[in-house]
Amino acid sequence: MNIPSVLVIDDEPDNFDVIEALLSNQDYQLHYAASGQEAIAFLETYNPDLILLDVMMPGIDGIEVCRQIKTMSKWQAVPIIMVTALSSKSDLARCLTTGADDFISKPVNAVELRARVHSMLRIKQHYDNIQSLSHIQENTINVLENTLNELRGNLASSLSHELNTPLNGILGMIGLLKDDLEDMDLAEIREMLGWADTSARRLENLTKRLLIYLELELAANRQQPIDLNWTHFSASAIEAALKMQAQGVNRSDDLICVFEEADIALSERYLLTILHELVDNALKFSPPQTIIQVSSQVLGEMLKLSIHDSGRGMTTEQIAKIDAFTQFERKTYEQQGIGMGLKIAQKVVELAKGELLINSIYQQETTVDITLPLK
């Protein structure tokens, strides 16, 4: 088995010495580059499996180095951990939006460094395994590859990434706890358990979505009926649930709810599924500090729901191609998820004998209008 190669990019040699000391007991091959220019020029020589990149450097700073590396197809899959003294959310957001996979704050904590490096290298190893399998199967899938990538948004890579990322987070934390538990204080143990809990909840959420999608597919094919029942559309309860969802990404102030209450011919479970999926898309594809408005209005025998955001938008062609496991421009924006949200919402609305319409202006706004029959 090859020894993982870790490239440290930092203009201060002393910082490399610190990282080398903290990782001295790990079976890694460490390389050092004193600038972004040097690192980029010798990437082929270093052939890194992971990059630890200092943000504050003279000349080309770490954020620009990260952006340039992530534009190179050969190195896009190499995880980059930003090492930064910055603490503001906007600075950390810049690190992530340029393609960084994670960040660690200065001064570097030994346990946190080992945990994050271990987790990212496991992700890279799984990616390499998937790539190896892909090459073995290349001769049989070449004919289908372009069509499948377009129609399914590269299901193989997105689904495996979404499963492996939280799974590796959990396994990484458990592995470190098993190896170093005797040397950890209670605060470190709690912090690592918190990371594992976050990963577990992400994996749980993905699993629930897959099960709901399968349930709806079976219902659509009349192999398994579902109970649509009915529910009271409660303004306060729905707003509270959506505000909590927005709070999870620090955007509760961006969410505006204007609701008219009604009894609708749809169970509470499926109503919340629709709203959570559509609000999740609005939060994911619109920038912070822009308004997302969710409203409801009784029109005759129907309740009209609208979700509006001022985000990325979609083209007419993209709207026409909406399907399960389809994500548009995933390589450009690197969003989480596997592209099931809109399709799940569509299927629920269809089974409830309602209608879902999407109006969007590319790079400006999107409005999803849903009509559901009253009880």
pLDDT of residue 325: 45
Last residue in a domain, options 81, 109, 137: 109
Burial of 39 (0-12, 13-18, 19+ CB in 10 A): buried
Averaged pLDDT, 254-264: 94
Whether 348 is in a domain gets the answer yes
Distances from the Cα of 173 to the Cα of 37, 92, 265, angstroms: 34, 23, 45
pLDDT band for 348, please (50, 70, 90 cuts).
confident
Bridge partners of 31? Answer: 7
Last residue in a domain, options 79, 109, 139: 109
Reported pTM: 0.49
Distance CA 280, CA 127 (A): 27
**CATH number of the domain that residue 3 is part of:** 3.40.50.2300
Whether 179 is in a domain gets the answer no
pLDDT band for 35, please (50, 70, 90 cuts).
very high
Whether 219 is in a domain gets the answer no
Distance CA 362, CA 312 (A): 6
Whether 146 is in a domain gets the answer no
Please provide the average confidence, as pLDDT, over all residues in the chain: 82
Q: Is 134 left (phi over 0), alpha (psi -120 to 50) or beta?
A: alpha
Question: Do 237 and 105 share a domain, yes or no?
Answer: no
* Overall domain count for the chain: 2
Instruction: Check whether 167 has a pLDDT greater than 90.
Output: no
Instruction: Check whether 250 has a pLDDT greater than 60.
Output: yes
**CATH number of the domain that residue 355 is part of:** 3.30.565.10
Task: Assess contact for 75 and 127: CB atoms under 8 A.
Answer: no
Averaged pLDDT, 323-337: 46
Instruction: Check whether 251 has a pLDDT greater than 90.
Output: yes
Top pLDDT among 233 and 135 is at 233
Last residue in a domain, options 84, 109, 134: 109
pLDDT of residue 287: 92
